[in-house]
Amino acid sequence: MPRRALITGISGQDGSYLAELLLAEGVEVHGVLRSASDATSGRLDAVRDAVALHEGDLLKRGTLRRIVAETAPDEIYHLAAPTFVPASWDVVADSMHGIATVTAELIEAVREEVPAAHTVIATSREIFGPDAQSPQDEDTPCAPSSPYGVAKLAAHQLVGLFRERDGLHLSSAILFNHESPRRDPAFITRKVSIAVAAISLGRQDELVLGNTAAIRDWSAATDIVAALRLMSAAEQPGDYVLASGVGHTVAQLVETAFACVGIEPDGRLRVDESLVRAQERYPVIGDPRRAQERLGWHAQTSFEELVAEMVEADLAAFRRS
């Protein structure tokens, strides 16, 4: 019998890539959707007929328990959660519920229904806060500065608590920024790739951004989901920073994107001071050495290749439209 995996948030960027990876390895894949309409986003086009989809509102108590009991998975990947950090200030209670409470309910379901399952919970580098020294690793002190970060820290700590108390195979994936053509357009990488593609086709005149000196550690989403798979397959559970270990400025992101279409960014980029946020004290860069040493994980996609993939995908989308 093939192993059976359950993915929450399967219609998202990470969930869809993970489903493709698991299916290629012969795993039976089940996914959780908020509603049937989520399956039509396009991200699941390659696998829609090969996965079993379960509709359910994770914010409703009992939903996860029901789905876990019905599917009896060997592996669980909990990826469903709000992802846009600034929005957490506007919906604090919803952010706490959607991240911390839902994670607690999933762990309860694992403990009661499938205690032998290998479970990976997606957390975030936001647990460290903006002033954490760089690079940040699994032992970096946590001081989140947003409701999103506080909620992710609660989820992260629940993983460690129940792993120690009940001996469950629970792992926390501390995710740094990771991107792809499937990333939501609200994120800076897609804002840049979409604008550069539009400018190159004469559909837009300029790219408007905030602080171009901000530094981020960008990885490819496909590399990150490969690490999630290795975390699940590991004999022992653990917490892992998943990052490239290399920082790039937003300005470098812009330059690389424009280079993909053979255009100089001079005169095409405008900085809007109203969009400029305070600079972090230290660069936002992760240290992936634990994942490299214990899991044998190494990123396969360079920063330049990642940016080119996004720009090319957006060019193709514009041409189709």
pLDDT computed for residue 89 by the predictor: 64
Rounded Cα gap, residues 66 and 173, in angstroms: 25
pLDDT digits (tens, 9 = 90+) for 122-163: 999 999 998 899 999 999 999 998 899 999 999 999 999 999
pLDDT digits (tens, 9 = 90+) for 235-263: 999 999 999 999 999 999 999 999 999 99
pLDDT digits (tens, 9 = 90+) for 69-98: 999 999 999 999 776 566 666 767 888 889
pLDDT digits (tens, 9 = 90+) for 152-166: 999 999 999 999 999
pLDDT computed for residue 139 by the predictor: 97
Question: Do strands 215-216 and 248-249 pair parallel, antiparallel, or not at all (unpaired)?
Answer: antiparallel
Using an 8 Å Cβ cutoff, are 230 and 296 in contact?
A: yes
Could you tell me the pLDDT band of residue 275, with boundaries at 50, 70 and 90? confident
Whether 240 sits among the annotated catalytic residues: the reply is no
Nearby residues of 3 by Cβ (< 8 Å), 6 or more positions away: 27, 28, 74, 75
Share of the chain residues as helix, strand and coil, in percent rounded to the nearest 5:
45, 15, 40
Query: Exactly one of 105, 113, 126, 179 is catalytic; which is it?
Result: 126
pLDDT digits (tens, 9 = 90+) for 178-216: 999 999 999 999 999 999 999 999 999 999 999 999 999
pLDDT computed for residue 38 by the predictor: 73
Using an 8 Å Cβ cutoff, are 256 and 49 in contact?
A: no
Q: What is the mean pLDDT of the chain?
A: 94
pLDDT computed for residue 274 by the predictor: 78
pLDDT computed for residue 286 by the predictor: 98
Query: Exactly one of 88, 95, 124, 171 is catalytic; which is it?
Result: 124
Query: Exactly one of 113, 148, 180, 232 is catalytic; which is it?
Result: 148
Degrees, nearest 5: CA angle 38-10-166: 135
pLDDT computed for residue 238 by the predictor: 98
Between 43-57, 138-152, 273-287, the lowest mean confidence (pLDDT) is in 273-287
Q: 215 pairs with which residues across the strands?
A: 249
pLDDT computed for residue 280 by the predictor: 75
pLDDT digits (tens, 9 = 90+) for 214-234: 999 999 999 999 999 999 999
pLDDT computed for residue 95 by the predictor: 84
Whether 126 sits among the annotated catalytic residues: the reply is yes
